[in-house]
Structure 1
Amino acid sequence: MTTLTALQAATADPSGGSLITRFADWAVHLMEVIGAPGAALAIALENLFPPLPSEVILPLAGFTASRGSFSLVEALLWTTIGSIVGAYALYWVGRALGRTRTRAIVGWLPLVDLEDVDKVEAWFDRNGAKAVFFGRMIPIFRSLISIPAGITKMNQGKFLGLTAAGSLIWNSIFVLAGYYLGENWHIVEAYADVFQKIVIVGVVLLLVLWIVLKIRKTRAKKNAAMQDADAAK
């Protein structure tokens, strides 16, 4: 059985193939045809389009390496290169957007004040390095964290170094899992899926809490303004 056939069997979907399964099949074919650079390309696309799952691509790269299509070192190297390329592209999206355009866009959003933007920028100026490094190991934020880094014009060398370090840790976990689990590589996907859902639920809860607090704050300001107006009469 060839590597491609084995991988396709492992990713087979009896329901006819979801988008994720089709992307996995495409990634499998890419790695089979052009080797480890195919994993880099797939991971770069995953960074640009967060719904594409690195939790599937990375174990597949490890599985492919375990079958001799390329070495484990190549799998780790090229997937990390792909992560850096994708993150750097989003960094430049942030640079192109810039602070001025970001503030203009935010000004149109309901419940969001420019004061909130200033607070976020101040927080990122203080904690940007940690945010980029650890953000590379959190689903969803892995890609998005590059944009504020670009908006705030974080030093490019610093950004690339932190991105490389964080990506190497994240990628190594999943590539090694796929390498040692072999045809059972998909086991890691289930655990990663649970982690991603926990992150999503946490983000939603924080967003709801933020909206509630903003509504209360807005109402309090209106009430205070009305009381001041009544007192002035």
Structure 2
Amino acid sequence: MTEWITNTMVSLGYLGIGLLMFLENLFPPIPSELIMPLAGYTVSQGKMEMIPAILAGIIGTILGAFPWYYAGKFVGEERLRQLADKYGKWITVSGADIDKANNWFTRYGGVAVFLCRLVPGVRTIISLPAGLNDMPLIPFLIYSTIGTALWVSFLTGAGYLLGEHYDLVDEYLGPVSKIVLLSLVIWFGLWILRRNMRKNAE
């Protein structure tokens, strides 16, 4: 995987970054945690510029969100869940993943789109419930772009600072991302609990 990502980026440059990030959104096993740090390392070598590299990553990610968004909009929740359970093993997406992302979106709407763009594993799938719930395209793009810009900039900057050890981002971010996800779940759970207690008190 690493060799293929490297060859694609070396041969296609900024277009390669955009293409890889587009594919990362369609096929979650392709890790953005490896693509953008490699781009940052390439920038540190003077072979690319930082801003165009980040922009390429953002554009590729946003373009990759459209297929999921429109799948949710036109295919429907029940059919998507059936397809995910039947074929999702090829892209590591299950019906349960769709339910989880949909629950997040139902509770938090646009904020969920923004936050989930910062959480590996959930960041790709959040486009589905946005489509399922008929979220208007412009707000979807705004929240997605802001979250994506932060994520892509962080990964690219980390790769730039780490230099030839850019692959450490992927190695260490996996456990960290699980901690972040757990923290968000706990925080949201406490928020719901307080809200319910307030309603009962009223």
TM-score by length of 1: 0.65
* Structure-2 change in CA distance of 1:185 and 1:150 (3 Å): same
SS at match of 2:28: coil
Task: Determine if the alignment matches structure 1 residue 156 to structure 2 residue 134.
Answer: no
C-alpha distance after superposition, 1:9-39 (max 9, x if no partner): xxxxxxxxxxxxxx22112111111111101
What is aligned with 2:71?
93
SS in 2 for 1:143: coil
Is contact 1:99–1:152 with CA below 8 Å preserved after alignment? no
**Structure 2 match to 1:218:** none
Question: Mind listing any 5+ residue stretches in structure 2 that lack a counterpart?
Answer: 83-98, 187-202
Q: Distance in 2 between matches of 1:197 and 1:125?
A: 22
Q: Secondary structure of 1:142's match?
A: coil
Structure number with bigger Rg: 1
Return the offset for 1:167.
Answer: 0.4
Q: Relative contact order: is structure 1 or structure 2 higher (C-alpha 8 Å, sep ≥ 6)?
A: 2
- Contact 2:102–2:126 at 8 Å: present in 1 too? no
Overall identity of the aligned pairs, in %: 40
Matching of residue 68 in structure 1 with residue 55 in structure 2: no
- Report the Cα distance in structure 2 between the residues aligned to 1:169 and 1:33, rounded to whole angstroms: 26
- Asked if residue 195 in structure 1 is aligned to residue 176 in structure 2, the reply is yes
The answer to whether the 8 A contact 1:139-1:199 is kept is: no
**Matches of 2:46 and 2:67, distance apart in 1:** 31
Q: Which moved more, 1:162-171 or 1:181-190?
A: 181-190
Question: 1:146-183, CA deviations, whole angstroms, 9 ceiling, x for partnerless residues?
Answer: 00001111111111111111000011111001112211
Cα distance in 2 for partners of 1:26, 1:178 equals 18
2:12 to 34, 51, 60: 34
Which one of the candidate residues 153, 157, 169 is aligned to 1:172?
153
State whether structure 2 residue 127 is matched by structure 1 residue 146.
yes
1:35–1:69: 8 Å Cα contact kept in structure 2? no
CA deviation map 1:174-233 (0-9, x unaligned) = 100111221121222222021244468x59x99xxxxxxxxxxxxxxxxxxxxxxxxxxx
Distance 1:64 1:139 in 2: 23
Aligned length: 169
Secondary structure of the corresponding residue to residue 69 of structure 1: coil
Asked if the contact 1:84–1:160 (Cα under 8 Å) also holds between the matched residues in 2, the reply is: yes
What CA RMSD, in Å, does the superposition of the two structures yield over aligned residues?
A: 2.8
Deviation at 1:124, TM superposition (A): 3.4
